[in-house]
Structure 1
């Protein structure tokens, strides 16, 4: 039940159509609904079916289905980033831009006081003439925004952008340990990719942030305060921090199949691996990683999508693998309840891609953390956890980006070996940060955010 001091203020939420964005938006909606705000959440119909179980306040949060227009280059039926390879994201951005008339109609019918969005750069120009405030809510790390998505990061427009253009941090950038070097710099080139018709990713995001009335970020001052301050000075806007915006404590229980399987192992002995809803591994890299888990000798559960060119996990597994790991290793091609997995006492290590949601879940869990990032922002998140907070170890890649099975196994053993000095140090640091970012602090962030929201919408 929502708290009684209901503001009865209507808010419209319109996140980028990826679950890594829609899910934290909905977690924030739950926090606001608890305070009495009424939320209309606009999203594709298929996404709504998956999001509905996370809506804890259906009397205060209503979903509005958005029809994703047909766009050349976007596969038929694709509605979210999970339906397509990352290389086709530009076409999903084009499709979202074509929903503008649907959003105008919705805005007219519900008359919101505030619209919270992230990549639909045209929202402020639609809202401003109607006297509606807009908030650009970034669900990625301040580290990634501050390094590549600020006005000071000048992107050449008269020629192709090179790695050298991005090699130096923008003027005033306040951190040294998250700056990329060598091959890692190539990951920054994603900001120059087309993202919709006639826009690069950099242009779309910076425009969204510049034109909104207020910026909000899913982070804590304790973790990224200097970077948040820098972003605020760059955009000359006040930045509201929501804290991690983690899910409310779940009333659901872990699926019986996984609960029973995990219960067979000693506390803290199982390695759990997940790479999010968008990462699709190449078959050869997938096979190398599963062999890496086998090499550890530890019990493991790897939950990933079937690799490129396959329809099932089973057909992609190395010959004889299932027989060799029978009883101690599972590779699963479906969805799992990640927060509940991490909370299970048998799970002692979390191998992940360091997407921002997984980053916070890692940090708030009691598991050792091993990181294998794939995309630009994930690499920056990894630098934050491994280099600045010193709570995780990153798997070493070869020069061409390949992760050998030996490197994965070595990283896992490093943190799981009870006699490892590195593992002990990481755990000490991790415990320290878990004490700092405690439930009381997380709730205080939400309370401060809601108070600031009152000031924004009046």
Structure 2
């Protein structure tokens, strides 16, 4: 069938409210819009401000702003995971679930054909009620999801996995929303990054088709022509090819001050030029306050420690950058695999350990 003859659909997209989840879903939206489909992308206002420059088809991709309700324990005004430590993400997930009424109202008004979501446990049920087909698009590796759904469980090998199987926690495992809600995620299709034999778990889930993709298929930034910001282009342009070590631990990792100082002192000892992009450590007001005494003077002109957002894919593709020190998060894994940099991984939480 010719591309021009393929039916055009209205597709809703609802990612988990973290930059590493929202960004690849927006790349997917661009690919779908390039083929003529219309997209309604649901996200909080603060996320829209960070991502709207990546929308290559504003005539087809519409950002629909949702309000994340406040709940006790979550800092007022929190909308995206980059604003809080990882330990508070379960509260943000709980608050995000409370936006269900807003999304349902928009669905009833706009009637999308499909909804692509990122493990929103209640979405398949809502979509089925409204006659919408649901697709679970996981930006993490299959192994991570298998661990979340089946920590320590022994499922029968002689029959398909059932919803009842999934609803039972393993012996000795404390009950939680993750364990008991895992069985509710039964969309039309589950899309994920493969890792070894873990994908066979999804192939056995009831009423679900699974599709694997590789980094070059899912990280679709090759069409984005945004130039590297001038300050980094000039600085990197004055250094030898392949000489710079770039370090970033993603948009959610926050180090203790002592960890931060050990890390930057290690980069100083390499003798190589370096660019470090990290969030301000706990207990510090600024990156500058957290730096070891005399550090800035000793590395002046050779090393930069920056606390703001950077264009990581473009930095990794710069000829002067030869090594990437990363936390091993899914987004950074994709970006590193799409570059020619050597990779050094410093995992901090379970999915990053599996990725490493």
Same fold (TM over 0.5): yes
Matched, 1:342 2:313: no
The residue number in structure 2 matching 1:411 is none
- TM-align CA RMSD: 2.0
Q: Is the 1:151–1:234 Cα contact (8 Å) retained in structure 2?
A: no
The residue number in structure 2 matching 1:276 is 250
**How many Å separate the matches in 2 of 1:32 and 1:56?**
11
The residue number in structure 1 matching 2:178 is 201
Q: Is the 2:187–2:208 Cα contact (8 Å) retained in structure 1?
A: no
1:63-212 → structure 2 map (5 Å cutoff): 63-146=63-146, 148-151=147-150, 153-154=152-153, 199-204=176-181, 206-209=182-185, 211-212=186-187
Q: Is the 1:120–1:208 Cα contact (8 Å) retained in structure 2?
A: no
The residue number in structure 2 matching 1:216 is 191
SS at match of 1:357: helix
The offset of 1:362, in angstroms, is 1.0
The offset of 1:93, in angstroms, is 1.3
The offset of 1:203, in angstroms, is 3.3
Higher strand proportion: 2
The offset of 1:7, in angstroms, is 2.7
The residue number in structure 2 matching 1:7 is 7
- Tell me the alpha carbon deviations over residues 279-312 of structure 1, each in whole angstroms, 9 at most, x when there is no partner: 0110000000000001111110001111011121
Q: 1:5 to 1:353 in 2, by over 3 A?
A: farther
Q: Is the 1:96–1:120 Cα contact (8 Å) retained in structure 2?
A: no
**How many Å separate the matches in 2 of 1:17 and 1:289?**
28
Q: 1:236 to 1:152 in 2, by over 3 A?
A: farther
Matched, 1:292 2:269: no
- Tell me the alpha carbon deviations over residues 251-292 of structure 1, each in whole angstroms, 9 at most, x when there is no partner: 111111111111221110100001110001100000000000
Q: Is the 2:188–2:207 Cα contact (8 Å) retained in structure 1?
A: no
- Tell me the alpha carbon deviations over residues 37-72 of structure 1, each in whole angstroms, 9 at most, x when there is no partner: 111001101111111111111111101000111111
Q: Is the 1:11–1:112 Cα contact (8 Å) retained in structure 2?
A: yes
Higher helix proportion: 1
- Tell me the alpha carbon deviations over residues 196-240 of structure 1, each in whole angstroms, 9 at most, x when there is no partner: xxx433334x2353x3222111x36xxx36332333225563212
**How many Å separate the matches in 2 of 1:129 and 1:236?**
16
**How many Å separate the matches in 2 of 1:306 and 1:318?**
13
The runs of 5 or more residues in structure 1 that have no matched partner are: 155-168, 173-191, 383-458
The runs of 5 or more residues in structure 2 that have no matched partner are: 158-172
Q: Is the 2:117–2:135 Cα contact (8 Å) retained in structure 1?
A: yes
**How many Å separate the matches in 1 of 2:210 and 2:224?**
29
Q: 1:332 to 1:5 in 2, by over 3 A?
A: farther
The residue number in structure 1 matching 2:199 is 228
